[in-house]
């Protein structure tokens, strides 16, 4: 009986001691974790990654805007990305921020669109795959893609002597460009602002399931054209040139 | 019969006594166990004070400053104001974006750290920046605007009024 009682008493104390040791152990682990995360400037690294990502996107857009001003300099994207790699170190000294890129392409062309009229889309585009390393924290291989795009689907027809142009303009991810005005559009190398014309728009759901904003340009008393050349410049200064046979 | 019952009674008395002792010991054990656990928790609380140092942590001001510049850049306004040298509008945009109790001073530099903005982009007394115990500083880079690659470095300083 006595031995039994002593054993039970020791068990309660032992249990309490075990619980106490567990509490202290968990506390030590939590303390270590919290201080580790506090001493590393995670928030700052995230801010740097965000800023570099947005900046790289801007570099691609700037390069495409520059390229489409003449459609000649195909090296502009690579040159700008090389400079951007070096300039980043000035903004974030001591962090060991390194940016590498691959597959940098820039150009213009056409692609088919499953629209109601099966028209072609004329486009200007640039893109690059980029990777950020932050050596000071051992972060390597944060990958992202930066791309810039401007495309136009064009259709032109005559209504008596008025030339009517239907034009859908979109940027990356098929996002419609909604802020165009007459200053952003030129017809046969002449600004639309200088031509007697009207510019309106309407919405249309295409066969490919994309909701498009269609600009309707009416060039009043503009006869005699069999082919029309339309240039569009968006707010980023990216230009795209499209042409269409007048039906 | 009476004699035979006596030892039985004694045993019962002794059992009652040992039962009481056992009950008392349980209370003592429970108290000891409680003391051990309370001691462990107190010990933990003394040492589990998390350090707080602006040297190591990104302060709220820095986060706020970076977010404001990032948002303006994302909307395409930052490049327009900086490359258009529209300092007054940039000041207003920052004033609108930041809480009124935050003073700021923004400096725009080229890549050689030559100051570009000739007029101050500031809200609040200059004295507040000199006397404040903590001034948050955010560096932000913008690569260019429209077709021109010409990076600018923005240094935004923030203090709480």
Query: Tens digits of per-residue pLDDT, B58-112?
Result: 578 888 999 999 999 999 999 999 999 999 999 999 999 999 889 999 999 999 9
Give me the mean pLDDT over the B6-10 stretch. 57
Distances (CA, A) of B57 to A89, A238, B7: 22, 41, 78
Predicted confidence (pLDDT) at residue B138 exceeds the cutoff of 70: yes
User: Hey, are the CB atoms on A41 and B56 less than 8 Å from each other?
Assistant: yes
Q: Which residues pair with A191 in a beta bridge?
A: A186
Helix then strand count (H, E) for chain B reads 5, 4
Chain B positions in Cβ-Cβ contact with residue A237 (cut-off 8 Å):
146-147
Percent of chain A's residues with pLDDT above 90: 49
Beta strands in chain B (DSSP E): 102-109, 121-123, 136-145, 148-160
> CA-to-CA distance for B86 and B156, rounded, in angstroms?
16
| Model pLDDT, residue B35 | 85
Within 8 A by CB and 6+ apart from B90, the residues are B78, B81, B82, B106, B121
| Model pLDDT, residue B1 | 43
User: CA dihedral defined by A32, A41, B96, B115, rounded to 10 degrees?
Assistant: 150
| Model pLDDT, residue A225 | 80
Closest residue in B to A237 (Cα) is B146
User: Hey, are the CB atoms on B33 and A16 less than 8 Å from each other?
Assistant: yes
User: Hey, are the CB atoms on B139 and A91 less than 8 Å from each other?
Assistant: yes
Give me the residues of A, 207-246, that contact B with CB < 8 A: 235-237
Chain A positions in Cβ-Cβ contact with residue B39 (cut-off 8 Å):
20
User: Hey, are the CB atoms on A87 and B62 less than 8 Å from each other?
Assistant: no
pLDDT tens string B9-49? 655 555 555 656 667 777 888 888 888 888 888 877 776 65
> CA-to-CA distance for B26 and B29, rounded, in angstroms?
5
Predicted confidence (pLDDT) at residue B54 exceeds the cutoff of 70: no
CB A133 within 8 A of CB A141: yes
Give me the mean pLDDT over the B129-141 stretch. 87
User: Hey, are the CB atoms on B32 and A16 less than 8 Å from each other?
Assistant: yes
Distances (CA, A) of A174 to A156, A209, B55, B144: 22, 11, 45, 25
Give me the residues of A, 54-113, that contact B with CB < 8 A: 54-55, 58-59, 62-63, 65-66, 69, 80, 83-84, 87-88, 90-92
CB A213 within 8 A of CB A168: yes
Q: Give the strands of the sheet with B136-145, arranged side by side.
A: B121-123, B102-109, B148-160, B136-145
| Model pLDDT, residue A8 | 54
CB B36 within 8 A of CB A17: yes
| Model pLDDT, residue B39 | 83
Cα angle: A90, vertex B137, A97; to 5 degrees: 30
Contacts 24+ apart (CB under 8 A), A242-247: A242/A122, A242/A152, A242/A153, A242/A154, A242/A167, A243/A122, A243/A154, A244/A119, A244/A154, A244/A155, A244/A156, A244/A165, A245/A156, A246/A156, A246/A157, A246/A158, A246/A163, A247/A155, A247/A156, A247/A157, A247/A158
- Give the three-class secondary structure for B63: helix
Show the low-confidence residues of chain A (pLDDT under 50): 1-4
* 0.95 surpassed by pTM: no
């Amino acid at each position: 009986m006595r031995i039994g009682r002593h054993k039970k008493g020791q068990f309660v104390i032992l249990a309490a001691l075990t619980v106490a040791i567990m509490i202290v152990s968990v506390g030590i682990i939590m303390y270590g974790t919290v201080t580790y995360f506090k001493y590393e400037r995670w928030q700052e690294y995230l801010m740097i990654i965000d800023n570099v990502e947005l900046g790289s996107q801007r570099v691609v857009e700037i390069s495409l805007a520059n390229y489409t001003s003449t459609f000649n300099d195909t090296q502009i994207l690579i040159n700008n990305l090389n400079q951007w790699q070096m300039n980043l170190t000035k903004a974030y000294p001591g962090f060991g921020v390194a940016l590498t890129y691959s597959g940098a392409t820039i150009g213009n062309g056409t692609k088919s669109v499953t629209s109601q009229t099966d028209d072609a889309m004329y486009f200007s585009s640039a893109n690059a795959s980029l990777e950020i390393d932050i050596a000071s924290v051992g972060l390597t291989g944060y990958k992202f893609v930066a791309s810039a795009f401007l495309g136009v689907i064009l259709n032109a027809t005559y209504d008596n002597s008025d030339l009517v142009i239907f034009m859908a303009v979109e940027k990356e991810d098929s996002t419609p460009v909604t802020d165009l005005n007459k200053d952003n559009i030129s017809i046969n190398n002449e600004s639309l602002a200088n031509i007697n014309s009207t510019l309106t728009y309407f919405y249309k759901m295409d066969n490919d399931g994309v909701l498009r904003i269609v600009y309707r340009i009416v060039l009043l008393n503009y006869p005699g054209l069999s082919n029309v050349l339309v240039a569009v410049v968006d707010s980023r200064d990216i230009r795209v040139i499209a042409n269409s046979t007048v039906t | 019969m009476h004699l035979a019952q006596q030892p039985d009674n004694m045993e019962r008395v002794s059992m009652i006594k040992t039962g009481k002792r056992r009950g008392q010991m349980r209370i003592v054990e429970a108290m000891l166990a409680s003391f051990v656990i309370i001691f462990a928790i107190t010990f933990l609380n003394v040492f589990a004070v998390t350090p707080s140092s602006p040297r190591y942590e990104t302060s709220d001001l820095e986060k706020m400053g970076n977010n404001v510049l990032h948002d303006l850049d994302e909307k395409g306004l930052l490049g327009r104001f900086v490359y258009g040298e529209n300092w007054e509008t940039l000041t207003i945009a920052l004033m609108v974006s930041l809480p009124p109790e935050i003073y700021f001073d923004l400096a725009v530099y080229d890549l050689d750290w030559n100051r570009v903005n000739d007029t101050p982009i500031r809200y609040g007394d200059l004295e507040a920046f000199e006397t404040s115990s903590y001034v948050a500083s955010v560096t932000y880079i913008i690569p260019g605007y429209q077709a021109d690659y010409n990076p600018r470095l923005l240094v935004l300083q923030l203090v709480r009024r």
